[in-house]
A and B are shown apart, each in its own frame.
Chain A
């Protein structure tokens, strides 16, 4: 079995290459059934139904974004009422400065809700994905560069409680994986 990275450094995991989305999907189902927990599949595009195949739950990002949006909304409410009703009530065109002025405040409330939701969605996604992170053990493997083109990979991490070099290699081979490689850190 090939090894990449600094072979004296700790093993990150064992990775295998697959040729199609279908092969990767079925491999993922079998890895899940075998009870591994620290592993991932890598593909050039999101594969429909892969979350179920891997046994992953729906991303919680949507719930996080709700609170981002709520922050935006409350920011707008306090900015508008705080300044126009309390700090410096400004009477323009005879419009009220109390709660009745709320229809005129809707556009800014709406925009800030959207703005903060969008920021939360993007930065929340990056944080949940552990990005930005410019180095990774998998980048030590030259073949892994094809993951953004047309190849599919599986990596089972050494931190997985069921991990053992011998058995994982045989297991990945039995799933039809090729170019099975041990990935070391730097």
Chain B
């Protein structure tokens, strides 16, 4: 359908009206408005709510850092990790946070390659979320090794005995996967920021801002001879990030799947981890975008109900894939006729950690099914409340996979329980402080919506706009 008819729906019959797509930007906002409004969030006076939020999140961040200092100075025994549960909250939290990052890359890369133009208004914030989530995730593998000053053993350099890393170990693959993921996400995010940083540079009134944004914008001029290479670079980065994001959580799942522990040794893990990561990640995107848009109300013209609706559908889809994976795991445990595998799943559901298992089942499989109803996908308060279930459920999932499996090993003499210490709990709470602090800093100092991409999806951005087709 041509743009000309889409703009004048009054000429259309009822049937044709059904076919008219919702505009991506509501209220016919202009390019100037987009620049003015998004930049004003960065340029205006710091709002009170920002200081109030920071007053909560910064102490939490400091608490996290202090407890990590305590961990390093005292030893990993300040956590509740024990024998048999050598991987407990540390790896649970690592997988939890790294999974959250995946939605950002999905939005920025996969939806870009599939030409889902609605992604333009949410990709910047989602990518920022990815980075901050990976920062929180990275803390755990780095610090759970015990002697943190030996963490350089992970890097591909020989140790004092000239022994190199074991490149056949999934744990080393993980190091490469997560560090590559972080680096590429930073590159992707920064590349996307360059034209918008140039917008901020060109609007600056004070010398210091002009200097900072000027340097960060790298002298971007917006010439088509620049855009040509820029667009190609962006396309290539999207093409690289797509297999990368699928590989990261697959590699994370290899940490478990390549072991011989019943309950971990399954081939379904890679796709099931990736679907779960996207599921939990979209829940986190909505968790932070809904309040951000509630504070900056005009953003509803850019991040519309239609966006929220689409994200809820993705949550519904991936949640159902996760539910299928849970059921398939149970089926294979029964059908595989391996008594240890059968026992592992029996103990998950009816053993000492039954409450974690059923919380996971309820939060991840049952709760999101309410998104079949449009009402719950389009009312922001409901959406925000419902997405808290996947947020919690995905944490339970990792806890169930890690703790319940280790708690019930092959022989009953090796059975045990995990009890988190106050350090475990407070460090985890602290990572939320770190995540939120970084996100608040991002909202305050960088444009949280990708201005140039939103301008490019306006009808007047089409060089044939208004011409007969």
For residues 5 through 51 of chain A, which have their beta carbon under 8 Å from a beta carbon of chain B?
A: 20-22, 24-26, 28, 40-51
From DSSP, what is the main secondary structure of chain A's interface residues? Answer: helix
Chain A residue contacts of B220, Cβ below 8 A: 131, 148
| Cβ–Cβ contact A104 & B219, under 8 A | no
| Cβ–Cβ contact B232 & A61, under 8 A | yes
Residues of B in contact (CB 8 Å), total: 72
Kindly identify which residue among B168, B177, B227, B467 contacts A43, using a CB–CB cutoff of 8 Å: B227
B221 at the interface (CB under 8 A from A): yes
Bound-state Cα–Cα, A135 to B453, Å: 25
| Cβ–Cβ contact A122 & B169, under 8 A | no
Instruction: Kindly provide the distance from the CB of A142 to the nearest chain B CB, expressed in whole angstroms.
Output: 10
- Who on chain A is nearest to B201 by CB? A148
Instruction: Kindly provide the distance from the CB of A115 to the nearest chain B CB, expressed in whole angstroms.
Output: 5
Bound-state Cα–Cα, A134 to B251, Å: 41
| Cβ–Cβ contact B168 & A92, under 8 A | yes
| Cβ–Cβ contact A129 & B229, under 8 A | yes
B195 at the interface (CB under 8 A from A): yes
Residues of A in contact (CB 8 Å), total: 71
Kindly identify which residue among B198, B230, B237 contacts A148, using a CB–CB cutoff of 8 Å: B198
| Cβ–Cβ contact A125 & B233, under 8 A | yes
B173 at the interface (CB under 8 A from A): yes
From DSSP, what is the main secondary structure of chain B's interface residues? Answer: helix
A84 at the interface (CB under 8 A from B): yes
- Who on chain B is nearest to A50 by CB? B224
Chain B residue contacts of A65, Cβ below 8 A: 236
For residues 67 through 112 of chain A, which have their beta carbon under 8 Å from a beta carbon of chain B?
A: 79-80, 83-84, 87-88, 90, 92, 95, 101, 104-105, 107-108, 110-112
B215 at the interface (CB under 8 A from A): yes
| Cβ–Cβ contact B460 & A79, under 8 A | no
Complex interface bits, B249-289 against A, C-beta within 8 A gives 1, otherwise 0:
00100100000000000000000000000000000000000
**Contacts A25-B463, A46-B456: A122 and B223 contacting too (C-beta < 8 A)?**
no
A54 at the interface (CB under 8 A from B): yes
| Cβ–Cβ contact B466 & A22, under 8 A | yes
Instruction: Kindly provide the distance from the CB of B297 to the nearest chain A CB, expressed in whole angstroms.
Output: 22
A56 at the interface (CB under 8 A from B): yes
Chain B residue contacts of A79, Cβ below 8 A: 156, 167
**Contacts A22-B466, A51-B224, A90-B166: A107 and B247 contacting too (C-beta < 8 A)?**
yes
Complex interface bits, A106-140 against B, C-beta within 8 A gives 1, otherwise 0:
01101110110111011011101101111110110
Chain A residue contacts of B230, Cβ below 8 A: 46, 125, 129
| Cβ–Cβ contact B176 & A108, under 8 A | yes
Bound-state Cα–Cα, A118 to B467, Å: 39
| Cβ–Cβ contact A148 & B224, under 8 A | no
| Cβ–Cβ contact A44 & B247, under 8 A | no
**Contacts A22-B466, A132-B218, A150-B31: A122 and B233 contacting too (C-beta < 8 A)?**
yes
A149 at the interface (CB under 8 A from B): yes
For residues 454 through 469 of chain B, which have their beta carbon under 8 Å from a beta carbon of chain A?
A: 455-456, 460-467
A4 at the interface (CB under 8 A from B): no
Instruction: Kindly provide the distance from the CB of A83 to the nearest chain B CB, expressed in whole angstroms.
Output: 4
Chain B residue contacts of A41, Cβ below 8 A: 223-224
| Cβ–Cβ contact B199 & A148, under 8 A | yes
- Who on chain A is nearest to B35 by CB? A149
Kindly identify which residue among B170, B229, B463 contacts A59, using a CB–CB cutoff of 8 Å: B229
Chain B residue contacts of A125, Cβ below 8 A: 191, 229-230, 232-233
Chain B residue contacts of A48, Cβ below 8 A: 456, 461-463
Instruction: Kindly provide the distance from the CB of A46 to the nearest chain B CB, expressed in whole angstroms.
Output: 4
B16 at the interface (CB under 8 A from A): no
| Cβ–Cβ contact B229 & A20, under 8 A | no
- Who on chain A is nearest to B33 by CB? A150
| Cβ–Cβ contact B173 & A107, under 8 A | yes
Chain B residue contacts of A50, Cβ below 8 A: 224, 227, 463
B319 at the interface (CB under 8 A from A): no
Chain A residue contacts of B116, Cβ below 8 A: none
| Cβ–Cβ contact A114 & B243, under 8 A | yes
Chain B residue contacts of A53, Cβ below 8 A: 463
Instruction: Kindly provide the distance from the CB of B72 to the nearest chain A CB, expressed in whole angstroms.
Output: 28
Chain B residue contacts of A42, Cβ below 8 A: 221-224
B240 at the interface (CB under 8 A from A): yes
**Contacts A88-B163, A129-B229: A47 and B183 contacting too (C-beta < 8 A)?**
no
**Contacts A101-B168, A105-B167: A45 and B455 contacting too (C-beta < 8 A)?**
yes
Bound-state Cα–Cα, A65 to B112, Å: 19
Kindly identify which residue among B162, B168, B223, B462 contacts A95, using a CB–CB cutoff of 8 Å: B168
Bound-state Cα–Cα, A117 to B232, Å: 13
Chain B residue contacts of A138, Cβ below 8 A: 221
- Who on chain B is nearest to A93 by CB? B168
B164 at the interface (CB under 8 A from A): yes
Bound-state Cα–Cα, A84 to B168, Å: 9
For residues 74 through 127 of chain B, which have their beta carbon under 8 Å from a beta carbon of chain A?
A: none
Bound-state Cα–Cα, A49 to B463, Å: 8
Q: A44-B195, A87-B162 are in contact. List 8 more A-B contacts (CB 8 A).
A: A21-B461, A45-B456, A48-B461, A56-B225, A107-B247, A124-B229, A150-B30, A155-B223
5 A-B pairs (CB sep. < 8 Å): A24-B463, A45-B195, A108-B176, A121-B187, A148-B199
Counting from the closest, the 4 A-B pairs by CB-CB distance are A25-B463, A125-B233, A150-B31, A104-B168
